[in-house]
Chains A and B, each alone.
Chain A
């Protein structure tokens, strides 16, 4: 009957809720920036891309064999940063459950290292600096899961100019478990979109605490 056809369509469209499978991999490092008063003013992101996407980014910028300079990559950096606010810079920071708001990013540039890997560096100022005494949580992920962000194994987080006694800890995500798949399945058939939080499920939680 028609239900069968509908079921068929359901299968075809099942995954369409905003989730792609990643084509781009980023190894992220973040610096938390403090001012002289000990307030947190923002973050500096250092995102290193995977080999294939790095090759894509440098394509056509120089004669073959040469790697482009920071200046040669400037137009690309400008282009990247244009649509970044729409994606909230993939940066999700919260203090006591309240999401922090960002001012436009500054100082964005691409560099290519000796391994031909491309790194994007930029600073993301908070609209309102926050007291360092508040505990806050930082996550970097793409809700659409087109880009997979992973924090670097070594020094994922550094505190720049922090008052003494501040500490950070990174909680790695647990792999999705079978029961979780089941739960997500149910959410799916209840017509929600479980796909949209897949990026979040696999995102590390960085916790920053100061005395």
Chain B
């Protein structure tokens, strides 16, 4: 069962790389790798909605040319497009969710990170098209090359974040294992040297062992993890890294709407549409982040383990999620560089 899942996971990650390679090199690519949804059940439906909304956006930009009030409709459509676009699988979402499992415990912070990542994604598209097309009158080829460069940096950022998380979570697991082995060996050592009656008292005085111990009849003991150690792990540095890794890659839909709005002489309408799209994206990624946090706490509850085992499961889960971020980042980076070479 586990092996099957692992194989599945590996192939999923590999396929992201392959898909990236294929679409990035597409003659009609706009420089951004798109991972869409397979046409299966729910994803097929989501895919259909995206198609409908993206085509409606172009029509609505025309309507704004005729009447600025149509911008409200455009914003509404863009918002829905954002919701559906984000509901299709994508790397940004994978990073956010994996990061949530690796690092986060609180729902609130998960939602804030999702929102910031989505906002950044919109801003990158606006700045890209605004600076290159509006100010410098850059051509499609320049836009494409720049978007591609931004994407490579974003994928590099995901790989870096993953590497950093693996290092951090890996050393946490290592520390946990070492401290437990150390405890057991120290304990046995004491056992041989001292007699039973003496042990407990002596034990208390050892500086290493100043945390909670549960002693059974055989004097074996477990470290019960202090609740606060399970909730920590949040740093602004890692949060900002996550927002940048998940959000610095603009989406093709936003770039196309911005360029089209510009061609119609209403760049502001494109900006409105892009920001509304970001809001929609934030709703979906936020829900996914919430799901990740809940799944993690559920996973811990279901294991029904306490003490060292619970902490090992938790740290193992976090390390696994960190590995996923690293793998996704690496696969995307290789796929994209491979395609452009």
Q: Chain A residues in contact with chain B, CB under 8 A?
A: 1-6, 8-25, 50-53, 55-61, 64, 75-76, 79-84, 86-87, 116, 142-148, 176, 181-182, 184-185, 188, 191, 193-195, 198, 201
Contacts and interface: CB of A to CB of B under 8 A. Distances in A.
A191 B15 CA distance: 11
A6 B316 CA distance: 13
A18 B23 contact: yes
24 contacts: A5-B299, A10-B8, A14-B37, A15-B37, A15-B88, A16-B15, A18-B23, A20-B34, A21-B37, A55-B260, A55-B264, A59-B138, A59-B143, A59-B259, A59-B262, A60-B140, A79-B27, A80-B27, A143-B22, A144-B26, A145-B36, A176-B44, A188-B40, A198-B39
A193 B7 CA distance: 14
A15 B34 CA distance: 11
B30 A21 contact: no
B25 A182 contact: no
A13 B140 contact: no
Interface stretch (B89-97, B162-170, B203-211): B89-97
A3 B39 contact: no
Interface stretch (B47-55, B116-124, B176-184): B47-55
Contacts of B94: 9, 12-13
Contacts of B264: 55
A5 B100 CA distance: 11
Nearest to B91: A16
Contacts of A87: 25-27
B106 to A, nearest CB: 18
Interface residue SS majority, chain A: helix
A25 B252 CA distance: 13
Q: Which of A15, A22, A53, A142 has the most C-beta atoms of chain B within 10 angstroms of its own C-beta?
A: A15
A83 B85 CA distance: 27
Given A5-B101, A18-B18, A60 B138 contact: yes
A51 B260 contact: yes
B176 to A, nearest CB: 17
